[in-house]
Amino acid sequence: MLTIFSFPLFLLSLLAPAGQGPTTPAAPAPPAPVEWQPNRPLTWADFKARPNTDRLAALTSSTIDAKVGCIDYQFSAKVRAVFTPTESWVRYPATATAALLKHEQTHFDLTEYHARKLRQKLSLVKLDCEHLQPAFNNLTKVAFLEWQREEARYDQDTNHGLNTPRQLFWEQQVQQKLQQLEAFAAK
């Protein structure tokens, strides 16, 4: 599952004023999104959602979070690859394999690769701060469509990680692509 845009979720806790009755304990905060980092691979503990389909063994929900703006007519952008624990799940955590986790990690790695490609594009184009939104929307629409298509090809070509030779091929290719765009890794 791929999410095109992520929006921050704000939770408000309302407490009764002191002396006006009991309060219920606040629900635990949802797990924070995980930003892609080279030395922080996913673990099964990151997958917090309940399975929502009978077809898949696991699902990674990740997004490219792109924020842009202009300050004094100077364009700036921040692009992050983000994993969403509350939308990601594994059907049988006790028996989930390392190979399945590697398949899910490669989904997240593909998200980072496409985030780097977007950072690269944003570094090369001159966006006019007067007309920022339409130009940015067009640029990201193409980038997101390309990312979603590659994610779908990955699952189809590897049969969701069940075709071991193709899975290994994709893992190697994605790592090479990440290395080629190392200059555009998040800082």
Residue 23 lies in a domain: no
Percent of the chain scored above 70 by pLDDT? 86
> In degrees to the nearest 10, what's the CA dihedral of 46, 49, 51, 52?
-140
Report yes or no: 33 and 3 within 8 Å, Cβ to Cβ: no
Evaluate whether 112 touches 130 at the Cβ level (below 8 Å). no
Q: Give CA–CA dist 114/112, Å, rounded.
A: 5
> Would 12 be classed as within a structural domain?
no
- 24 falls in which pLDDT band (50, 70, 90)? low
Q: Considering the entire predicted model, what is its pTM?
A: 0.83
Among 8-12, 39-43, 71-75, 77-81, name the one with the lowest average pLDDT. Answer: 8-12
**Residue 48: CB partners within 8 Å, gap ≥ 6?**
30, 31, 85, 86, 88, 89
Residue 175: CB atoms within 10 A of its CB come to 13
Q: Which residue has the higher pLDDT, 64 or 131?
A: 64
**Is 13 part of a structural domain of the chain?**
no
Tokens of 164: 């071991």
Distance CA 137, CA 5 (A): 12
Per-residue pLDDT of 93-146, as tens digits, reads 999 999 999 999 999 999 999 999 999 999 888 877 887 888 888 889 999 999
Q: Quote the DSSP letter at residue 176.
A: H
Q: How far apart are CA 96 and CA 44, in angstroms?
A: 8
Tell me the residue range of the domain where 76 lies.
34-184
- Domain assignment present for residue 130? The answer is yes
User: Within a domain: residue 26?
Assistant: no
Q: Is residue 101 part of a domain?
A: yes
User: How many structural domains compose the chain?
Assistant: 1
- Determine, yes or no, domain membership for 53: yes
Percentage of residues in the chain having pLDDT higher than 90: 66
Structure-token match 């990690």, residue found: 105
Residue owning tokens 């917090």 = 48
Is residue 110 assigned to a domain?
yes
